[in-house]
Structure 1
C-alpha cells in the first residue's frame, strides 16, 4: 500500500467523496472541486474583493493564501495573510466554524499527525503559533529565526521541519518538547514551501528567490543530500508514489512548468508545461493525479502521473496559492449547493511581455469590480536591480506612467503587484490613444529604458 502526501489514504481510488481545495489570494475564496468530474462545485467566500479592504477591515479575510487539513479530512485550516486569520472550515458543510487571529502575516498552517494541534508559521514575526484543535486557542509559541515560511511534520509526528522566508536557516523542532534539535543551512533566505517524502526519510524545500531545490535527511544529523537548480520562482514541491517509485513534483512559476524528479537519484524525468505561474501542488490519494494551482491563469491543472501530461484545466478563483486533495471530505449535495459561484472572480485578462529573445513576463489582471489587481510574474532581468512596471503610449516607450517599482531577486525574477482601474486605462475606445504595459529599468525615481513590452 503506497502512502502519498500527509493524510492521504493509501492507494484509495479517486471518488466523488474526495475534494480538491485551493486557497485563492485575490478573490479571498476557497474553491471546491470534484476530482472525478474535474468540475468546480463552487467557492467558499472568506472576504470581499478590493476596494472594500482598503478601508478598516472589521470582518472577513484578505489575501487568502495558506492551507492545511486535519488527518480525518473533516477540517481545513485556511490562512489569510492580510488579515492574520486562520479560518477553520468544516468540510461536511463548507462553512467556517471558527476563526483564530494570530500574529503579523501568517503564511501556512498544518495539523500535527495526531490531529491535536495546528502549527501556524507567523512569517511577519519569529515564531510558530500552536493552536489547540478543540478550543482553537493559541497554547504555545515555538521560537524560530525571523520569517518562518512553513512547517511540515515527520509522518510519526516526532519532528517539525520549519523553513524560513527571511533567514537562510531551516530548523528542526522536537514536537513533544517544542525544542530545537537541529538546523539545516538554506542556500538563500526565501523558502516558501517544504515537504516530506511519503516514507519519511527525506525533507525537500524550495528557494523562491534563487530557484533552487534542497533535499536533506529527515533524521539526525539532518544532512543536506542534494541541492538542485530548478529555475526562476521555484514555488512548491510535493510527492507521489507511481508504480512503486516515488517522484517529486516541483512548480516553477517563472517557466510555467512542473518538473518531475525521481527521488531515488534526484534526476529530472519530465518537464510539463502547465500554464501561467504554477504555485501549489498536491497528489491524489492513489498517486494517479497531481493537482497544480495556476496563480496567473486562475485554473487548476490536472496531471496524469502515468503520462506526465495535463489532462484537464479547471477554472477556479483568483490567484490560487496553496491547495490540497482531501480524501473522503464528502461534503453533502446540500452543502455543495450552498457554495458561492465565482462571479467577477472568474474574469481575468492576461498578456505577455517580450524582450529581444522571446516571452519573458506573464501579466494578469484580476477583476475586482471597480478596480483590478495586476500581477506580473517577471523573469529575464539582471539580479538585484530596481525596475518599473509602467504604462506607455507606444509599444516600446514614449510617455511612461509608472504603476509599480520593484527589485529583482537573485535569479533576475520578481512577482510584482499593483492595483487600480488598469483595464479601463488600457482598454480604451479607438478614438483615444491606446496605452501599453512595459517593464523598464530605473532612472532614479522614474522609469527609464524599456526592456520588455507587449508584442
Structure 2
C-alpha cells in the first residue's frame, strides 16, 4: 500500500496529517505457520518472512491436527492423548480455551464461514462439531472406523472424512450433520484435501502407496494415482488448485501431482518422516512437518526444491498457515468529509 501513497494515488503526501500517518501500519501482519509438536506438547509459530520460530505455545497432550479460522484470529489444535482441542489466539499466541471432545482426536477442519470446527476422533469413530461462538461441542457425528482426517468443501456444504481402519471416506452434510455417503477407498486412507473449485477430493492411502481422486459431484473414485513413495501420509493442494503435494512417510519425500493430468511430476527429498503440508496464501511455498527430524522443510513451489529448513519442537506433525492479512484501511485525513 505504501507505493500508492507515495505515488499520490490515495492522498497527496503533504495533505496527510501526522495523526493520520501514525494510524497507518508500517506493514501487514506476517503470514505465520503454526506447527504442532507431538512429543513436546507445544505449537511452534514460524514467521514465514524470516522462517524463524517466534513463539512456542504449550498446548495439550500430544497435539496432532491443526486448523486456522478464515479470519486468522484463532487456531484450533487437536490433542490426541488429551481428548481435547486447544484454542489459540493469534493476537496473543496463548491458549484461551480447552474443549473436551472424543477419544484420540486427530484431524481438524473449519468451515469457510468460520462458525464450526470439525474434529475427527480416531478411537470414538466420530466427528465432534464445535460451535466457534461458544467453543463448545454442539453435536457428534458417527462415521467410519478409525477416522484420521477431515476436509470441508469450499462452499461449506460437505465434510469428507478419511476412515483409516475400514478403508472408506464418509461424506457429512454439514447442514444436517449426518452421513449421506460412504465411499470405498484403497487400503489405509489417512489424509485428504479438496481442490479450491470443490470438484475433487485427493485422498492419501498410506497402506496402498497411492492417492484416490474422488469426484464430489458423484461421490465416487474417478482415478487412483501411484505416488512412487512409501506410506503416503499427508496431502495438500496449492491455492490455484494445479498441484497436489503428498508426503511419503517412509521415503522421506514429497510427491508432486499435476491435478490436470493426475500424474506425479516431481519427487522432492525432505526430512525424516514427513507428515503434513500447508501452503502460503500466494502458493509460492509449501511447509512440510518432518516428525523425526524435528524440523520443517520449506519448499519453493516454482522450482520444487527445499529452500530452507526450520528447526521446531520435538515430533512436528500438523501444520497450518494463516490467511493473507487484510490490507490496512486508508486513514482519514484531517480534511476528509
TM-score by length of 1: 0.64
2:201 alignment counterpart: 203
C-alpha deviation, 1:241, in angstroms: 4.6
**CA deviation profile, 1:248-306 (whole Å, cap 9, x unmatched):** 11111111111111000111111111121111101111111111111111111111111
Structure 2 counterpart of 1:307, from 303, 311, 318? 303
Contact preservation (8 Å) 2:109, 2:151? yes
1:139 alignment counterpart: 138
2:44 alignment counterpart: 31
C-alpha deviation, 1:191, in angstroms: 2.2
C-alpha deviation, 1:28, in angstroms: 0.8
Counterpart-to-counterpart distance in 1, 2:249 and 2:149: 18
1:192 alignment counterpart: 190
Contact preservation (8 Å) 1:282, 1:291? yes
Contact preservation (8 Å) 1:19, 1:328? no
* Residue 265 of structure 2 is aligned to residue 269 of structure 1: yes
Note the aligned Cα RMSD (angstroms). 1.7
Counterpart-to-counterpart distance in 2, 1:16 and 1:68: 18
Distance 1:15 1:316, change over 3 A: farther
Counterpart-to-counterpart distance in 2, 1:79 and 1:96: 13
Counterpart-to-counterpart distance in 2, 1:303 and 1:15: 23
Contact preservation (8 Å) 2:37, 2:313? yes
C-alpha deviation, 1:328, in angstroms: 4.8
1:296 alignment counterpart: 292
Counterpart-to-counterpart distance in 2, 1:104 and 1:73: 27
C-alpha deviation, 1:229, in angstroms: 2.1
Distance 1:16 1:314, change over 3 A: farther
Helix, strand or coil at the partner of 1:209: helix
Q: Unaligned stretches of 5+ in structure 1?
A: 1-13, 47-60, 331-455
C-alpha deviation, 1:310, in angstroms: 0.5
**CA deviation profile, 1:167-195 (whole Å, cap 9, x unmatched):** 1111111110122222211111x322110
Helix, strand or coil at the partner of 1:66: strand
C-alpha deviation, 1:119, in angstroms: 1.0
Structure 1 counterpart of 2:315, from 302, 319, 326? 319
Residue correspondence of structure 1 range 232-381 to structure 2 within 5 A: 232-241=230-239, 246-328=242-324
Counterpart-to-counterpart distance in 1, 2:55 and 2:153: 33
1:217 alignment counterpart: 215
Counterpart-to-counterpart distance in 2, 1:192 and 1:318: 22
Residue correspondence of structure 1 range 168-187 to structure 2 within 5 A: 168-187=167-186
1:148 alignment counterpart: 147
* Residue 57 of structure 2 is aligned to residue 44 of structure 1: yes
Comparing 22-31 with 124-133, which one deviates more in the overlay?
124-133
Number of aligned pairs?
299
1:129 alignment counterpart: 128
**CA deviation profile, 1:317-355 (whole Å, cap 9, x unmatched):** 11111101112579xxxxxxxxxxxxxxxxxxxxxxxxx
Counterpart-to-counterpart distance in 2, 1:276 and 1:126: 29
Structure 2 counterpart of 1:226, from 223, 228, 246? 223
Counterpart-to-counterpart distance in 2, 1:208 and 1:268: 16
Contact preservation (8 Å) 1:203, 1:215? yes
Contact preservation (8 Å) 2:225, 2:263? no
Counterpart-to-counterpart distance in 2, 1:327 and 1:112: 14
Helix, strand or coil at the partner of 2:190: coil
Q: Unaligned stretches of 5+ in structure 2?
A: 1-26, 327-337
Comparing 247-256 with 233-242, which one deviates more in the overlay?
233-242
